[in-house]
Amino acid sequence: MSKHHFTGNSNKYPYWLKSTIILIGLTLLFVVMSYGKFILMPLAFAAFISMLLSPVVQKLESWKLGRALSIMVTLLLVFFLLAGIISLISTQFVQFSERIPEVTQKLKDVNSDVIAYMDSKLGISQEEQGNYLEKGFSNLIDKSGQYASSIVSATTNVFTLLTLIPIFVFFMLYYKEMYQTFFQKMFKRNSTSKEIDDVLSRVQNVTQNYLVGMLSVIGILAVLNTTGLFLIGMEHAVFFGVFASLMAIIPYIGIIIGSLPPLLFALFLSDSLILPLLVLAVFGTVQFLEGNFISPRIIGSKVSINPFVALIALIIGGELWGISGMILFVPLIGILRVIFEQIEELKPYGYLLGNQIEYKE
């Protein structure tokens, strides 16, 4: 199938004017994304989820179910699947929490050793150390109200997202032809309906490939992490393995975040450094396999963007939308790359976002 590209007549404008417009547009975009994150975040999640679930809804519709019923059945299936995963993690977490008193006691022992060391080696008396600790606890108590308020606010935001996203997904799936017609009407002056449909189809395919691939990678990582931790004799291997795999949804740094809890647990409750080193070896091996074999073959180059762009996307996403931004911005940049590659004047930007370098002889 031939490749279609959007064309425009913006060459009549000077380069400096186009560059200025782009910079102003990007600035306004960041401002809108920052102040409008309450509505834009659930919309972005809903857009990804609706593209992921669209084939399932189409399959149910082919079985003569109405669209509304097909969407509701699909959302219920997703709900029960998530409920099962949460139940498994909760059960493992309850078992893990039974060891928290041991960790607390270990921390107290370490604290006593540190106090004794500082008294004997550095000449800081236990009384002085106690005064420092008292001041630190006082500051912590003073700020505890702010922390509690932040936690309540974050919890409220999570429940709001969990309420809004299914509603948005339902309407996005129900009116998907309307959105397709909207884009056709918007760009029909410079492109044919066939060209627009081709771009929309590619964007949806790229998004579906990325999301399905990411879910597959998370499942494989859960098995590898759990198996590796179990083989080295790590307690609560299922909880730590599944938790670390779920953190992999945050590109590049997720594996580091996911490996910290089991590493700290092993450090505090092990009498030697053998178990912590084995934990590092397990996650290092899994990370090597994920980065060099698993993700490249499952997700492929469909949403491949170069690591530098991905790092910038993570930083900007985290700054604007927090953890949600770190999850969303990498695939969003990948979708932008697909769109740029279809617009003749934006093809250089698509190349810049990509991960393939063309060398000239």
The one-digit pLDDT tens for each residue of the chain (361 residues) are: 445 555 555 556 676 777 788 788 878 988 888 888 888 889 999 998 998 899 899 999 999 889 999 999 999 999 999 888 888 878 877 877 777 777 676 766 666 666 666 666 666 666 665 666 656 655 655 555 555 555 555 566 677 778 889 999 999 999 988 888 887 787 776 666 677 777 777 777 777 777 888 888 899 999 999 999 999 999 888 889 988 998 887 777 788 888 888 988 888 777 778 998 999 999 999 988 887 888 777 766 556 677 788 888 888 888 888 888 888 888 888 778 877 877 777 788 888 887 765 444 4
DSSP code string of 200-225: HHHHHHHHHHHHHHHHHHHHHHHHHH
Comparing CA positions, the residue from 56, 338, 8, 350 lying closest to residue 201 is 338
Residue with structure tokens 């008396």? Answer: 125
> What residues contact 27, with CB distance under 8 A and at least 6 apart?
none
Other C-beta atoms within 10 Å of 101: how many? 9
Cα 87 off chain centre by: 21
Q: Quote the pLDDT of residue 26.
A: 78
Q: What is the pLDDT of residue 302?
A: 54
CA distance 33 to 14: 29
- Strand partners for 6: 343
- Angstrom distances, CA of residue 222 to CA of 160, 227, 247, 277: 28, 8, 10, 20
191, HSE (Cβ side, Cα atoms, 13 Å): 22
On the CB side of 52, how many CA atoms lie within 13 Å of its CA? 17
CA distance 38 to 157: 8
- Dmax (CA) of the chain: 81
Give the C-alpha separation, 21 to 345, whole Å: 14
Do the beta carbons of residue 226 and residue 286 sit within 8 Å? no
What is the rounded CA–CA span in Å between residue 148 and residue 146?
A: 5
The encoded tokens of residue 12 equal: 């009549």
Report the pLDDT value the prediction gives residue 359, as an integer from 0 to 100.
41
pTM exceeding 0.75: no
Domain boundaries, the chain: 1-10+190-361
* Contact indicator for 225, 310 with CB cutoff of 8 Å: no
The pair of structure tokens assigned to 57 is 């809804």
Per DSSP, what are the bridge partners of residue 343? 6
DSSP state of 6: B
HSE (side-chain half, CA atoms, 13 Å) at 39:
3
Query: Are the beta carbons of 217 and 299 closer than 8 angstroms?
Result: yes
